[in-house]
Amino acid sequence: MKMNPWTLSVLLLLAGPLGADPDWHVEYPESFCVVEGSTATIPCSFTHPAVHKGTDVVVERVIWCTNPKFCKKPVYYVYDSSKVRGDSRFLYLGDLVRNCTLKIIKTVKKDAATYHFRFESNATGYAGRKGVRVTLSNGEDVKVRSSVTDNVVKEGGQVTLTCTSNCSFHQMDVHWYRNGHALSEKGSALHLSCLTNDDAGNYTCSLDSSGQKTSAPWSLVMLEDEDGEVVKVRSSVTDNVVKEGGQVTLTCTSNCSFHQMDVHWYRNGHALSETGPALNLSNLTNNNTGNYTCSLDSSGQKTSAPWSLVVLEDEGKHNVTVAGKEKFDWFLTVSVLLAVFLLLLAGLVFAKRCLRSV
């Protein structure tokens, strides 16, 4: 059974000292296969006695090398903790306690070798004598495997594609392509959900960004849903005509799973501020009239067909408004006439008083 390198690393770190000499020990796999151009992570652990010849042991230096004489000459070093500079492709992920994991970035042919780890303390030094033999594959065995037995999937369904190889590779080095065009997703697994006809095509995976270590294509064929709609807008009213002042609730539904807060709403193609599967519209006015759609992601790719809302003007409200305006006009007319009459009356009274005083 093939074991994930990181899992093996954890097991080795948890395991105690092994072998004939349990005090001084280095543990790593005997061989390690990696796809050329990808990143290799070699799991490694080491142990030492707490005290050696009356001295408390403290590790001061760690070395990785390709020298069968166990790292005695600097010319063979690929990593040396005492050196500030080194080959930037070799990254030490370990420490000075127990972990000696080594990472080789973007492997090349010359990296195929037997690697040894050596640690040096204030008491003495020790090297893993067996070493780990790293071999490189040209990537011809890279394949795409599917979570479904058939490559025909119904609209709204889902499928997970996995990029596999007999050799190790770094998961984040995996790039995915559909019909030769790069996808934004990276990693050994590609999850495709809420499938539509746009997802149909030939999928390939590559173990490096150059696309040289690429798998054979895996074809995804979409089977159209019976009603042709993966995402739908449903309404709380039977008719799409609603009176002014009324209310309606629109619900975004789909035959595939989705996160509620991923639902976005649009009116006439313009995004609304509301999110979530339900859109509540109340105190409706003519401004609410329009075509409503919902999308299962912010990109708008998984979008429903439009649902049209027509807000009908309230006739009773209009009649009340007209009657009120007529009543106001009548009251205003009477008020003006009364004011004129009072002014005339006041003028007559004033004129009589003037005549009497004469």
- Radius of gyration, CA atoms only, the chain: 40
CATH architecture of the region 5-137 = Sandwich (2.60)
The answer to whether the CB of 242 falls within 8 A of the CB of 284 is yes
Q: Please report the pLDDT score of residue 183 as a whole number.
A: 92
CA nearest 129: which of 171, 47, 67? 67
The pLDDT tens digits for 137-168 are 877 788 999 999 888 988 878 899 999 888 87
Q: Please report the pLDDT score of residue 1 as a whole number.
A: 36
CA nearest 234: which of 185, 161, 186, 294? 294
Question: For residue 206, what are its two tokens?
Answer: 């590559």
Q: Please report the pLDDT score of residue 254 as a whole number.
A: 81
> In the chain, how long is the greatest CA-to-CA distance?
146
| Three state DSSP letters for 252-270 | EEECCCCCHHHCEEEECCE
| Least-confidence region, from 15-24, 184-193, 314-323 | 15-24
The answer to whether the CB of 338 falls within 8 A of the CB of 345 is no
Q: Please report the pLDDT score of residue 19 as a whole number.
A: 40
Rounded to whole angstroms, the Cα distance separating 265 from 269 reads 9
Question: For residue 40, what are its two tokens?
Answer: 């290799």
The matching CATH number, chosen from 3.40.50.1970, 3.30.200.20, 2.60.40.10, 2.40.110.10, for 143-223 is: 2.60.40.10
For residue 199, is pLDDT > 80?
A: yes
Q: Please report the pLDDT score of residue 119 as a whole number.
A: 93
The pLDDT tens digits for 28-53 are 988 888 888 888 889 999 999 999 88
Class of domain 231-312: mainly beta
Mean pLDDT confidence for 16-24: 51
Domain boundaries, the chain: 5-137, 143-223, 231-312
| 41: CB partners within 8 A, 6+ apart | 5, 6, 9, 93, 101, 102, 103, 104, 168, 170
Give me the chain's average pLDDT, please.
Answer: 81
Q: Predicted confidence band at 191 (pLDDT cuts at 50, 70, 90)?
A: very high
Q: Name the pTM for this structure.
A: 0.55
Q: Predicted confidence band at 85 (pLDDT cuts at 50, 70, 90)?
A: low
Rounded to whole angstroms, the Cα distance separating 118 from 90 reads 15
For residue 314, is pLDDT > 80?
A: no
| Highest-pLDDT range among 140-144, 188-192, 253-257, 301-305 | 188-192
Q: Which residue has the higher pLDDT, 260 or 142?
A: 142
Q: Please report the pLDDT score of residue 227 as a whole number.
A: 59
Name the percent of the chain lying above pLDDT 90: 35
| 186: CB partners within 8 A, 6+ apart | 172, 174, 175, 176
